[in-house]
Amino acid sequence: MTSTSATAEARRSRTLGWVVGLSFTALLFDGYDLVVYGTVVPTLLADKSQIGALTPAQAGTLGSWALFGVLVGALTAGAIGDRVGRRRIMLVNIAWFSLGMAVTATTTSVVAFGAGRFFTGIGVGALVATVGALVAEFAPADRRNRYNAFVYSGVPAGGVLAALAAIVLNDVAGWRGLFWIGALPVLFLLPLAWAKLPESPLWLLSRGEEERAAEVSRRTGIPLPSPVGGPDTEVAAPAKVGYAALAARPLLVPTVLLGLMSFSGLLLTYGLNTWLPQIMGSKGYGKDYALAFLLILNLGAIVGGLIASWVADRVGAQRVVATTFVLAALALLLMPLGLPFGVLLTAVAVAGVGTIGTQVLIYGLVSNYYPTTARAAGVAWCAGFGRLGGIVGPVIGGILVSAGVGGSTAFQVFAVISIVGALVTVSVRGVARGRTPTADAGHHEATAARDAVPA
């Protein structure tokens, strides 16, 4: 290796470290926002002096308001992200969701609380939709699943943070203090991102800004595509950009299926994170035990998701996602069977791998699937449409809890959804280690027969 190439490689490592670290931290607070509501639901249900009287069904609906915001934020980011760039979306929405968490902490009525959750969700949705595109354009092609999995493991890591904060601080700071913690990124993460987060040179190149792309490439060490086909090479930009590219062949049918895959994953993720403490509490486990289940669920997702992503870089993300969906179904069916406590915790951890961990893998698969000119739109579509599943999940849980049918039925319903997710996953054609003919034509043609999963 020459001194010039060694210097470029060192710059690339530093740049990738900042991109991955900043993206992980942003999604850490996304996960915190996801789980913190589930930790405060028992308090809001029990004490009407907080934001007013609340029934379980209303709590489920209220939990979905943030997801409506995520839907709006994700789809909006997809509409403009392939046109205005990754950096601008990240900076604006770190500030946005921090402000939303602060506003929510001050509310005194159900309506105001729901409005604060909706506002927060817009910023969260835009970040989730942008991070996958950003990491995919900075990470080496043969390690994209691992880097994406690490970054998106920020979501379950945030869930762990929320569960720990609720156990340690709830009696000291109350539910409002837990939401104030979610506002901290505006103080430290936003200044760091402003200073250290570069624009994607691949995105600049896709917009025809060749001189600026070359300058950013030299400064960051991120290589631009070479004229000869290779693992980092993309074909010439198509005529259609963003959502228009998704609505045309060859991306239309895969985009629908990928959206359904994300719908299933996020329904399970939000349904379990919102209602697992309440369901386990109804089965005789105290408050601390119920929060411990949330902790194990998200820890399982982090560890299992990272291991699964390592496997995905070798055998293909599609196979791994389908397998983890099936594992989730098996774990969910076992959980209400009166298992010994240690075995029950293991089942909860496996359910975490198969639900939250699966969604981490889905984001990696999707962000690697699309070309640069449609990547933000593709990830945004899956994050946005998937959040409809996230909206449905807490509502289903609330209806089942209100009907008094017990945790067994809820777990069985979620298990069926896991199987549906697995079936949708294996139906997606054109996946070869996360690549498609559009995103990486030369490499795909050489490896599709070897790597693609038959559908």
Average pLDDT, the chain: 80
Tell me how many domains the chain contains. Answer: 1
- Predicted confidence at residue 431, as pLDDT, reads 56
What average pLDDT does the segment 358-372 reach? 82
CATH number at residue 400: 1.20.1250.20
Confidence check: pLDDT of 4 > 70: no
* Mean pLDDT within 213-224: 86
Whether 3 is covered by a domain: the verdict is no
- Which of 33-42, 91-100, 328-337, 419-428 has the least mean pLDDT? 33-42
Q: Span 210-216, mean pLDDT?
A: 88
Residue length of the chain: 455
Residue 195 falls inside a structural domain: yes
CA 383 → CA 72, 77, 100, 129, 364, distances in Å?
Answer: 10, 10, 19, 6, 12
Confidence of residue 370 (pLDDT cuts 50, 70, 90): confident
Q: pLDDT tens, 149-175?
A: 888 888 878 877 887 888 788 677 788
How distant, in Å, are the alpha carbons of 81, 342, 346 from that of 375?
9, 42, 36
Determine, yes or no, domain membership for 314: yes
pLDDT digits (tens, 9 = 90+) for 402-415: 776 666 777 888 89
pLDDT cut 70: percent of the chain above it: 87
What pTM was computed for the model? 0.74
| pLDDT at residue 359 is higher than 80 | yes
| Contacts made by residues 411-415, CB under 8 angstroms, sequence distance 24+ | 411/279, 411/332, 411/333, 411/335, 411/336, 412/332, 412/333, 414/267, 414/268, 414/271, 414/272, 414/328, 414/332, 414/355, 415/328, 415/329, 415/330, 415/332, 415/333
d(CA 358, CA 411): 17
What is the band of 90 on the pLDDT scale with cuts at 50, 70, 90? very high
Query: Is 213 a residue whose pLDDT tops 50?
Result: yes
1 occurs within a structural domain: no
Q: For residue 2, tell me if it sits in a domain.
A: no
State which residues form the domain around 399. 9-451
* Both structure tokens of 455: 């559908």
Please give the Cα distance from 77 to 82 (Å, whole number): 8
pLDDT-derived band at 3, boundaries 50, 70, 90? low
Please report the DSSP string for 328-388 in residue order: HHHHHHHTTS---HHHHHHHHHHHHIIIIIHHHHHHHHHHHHS-HHHHHHHHHHHHHHHHH
Q: Is residue 53 part of a domain?
A: yes
Domain assignment present for residue 4? The answer is no
Answer whether residue 380 is part of any domain.
Answer: yes
| Residues 377-403: tens digit of each pLDDT | 888 888 888 878 877 887 777 777 777
Residues 6+ apart with CB under 8 A from 56: 45, 278, 398, 401, 402
State how far the Cα of 22 lies from the Cα of 190, in Å rounded to an integer. Answer: 9
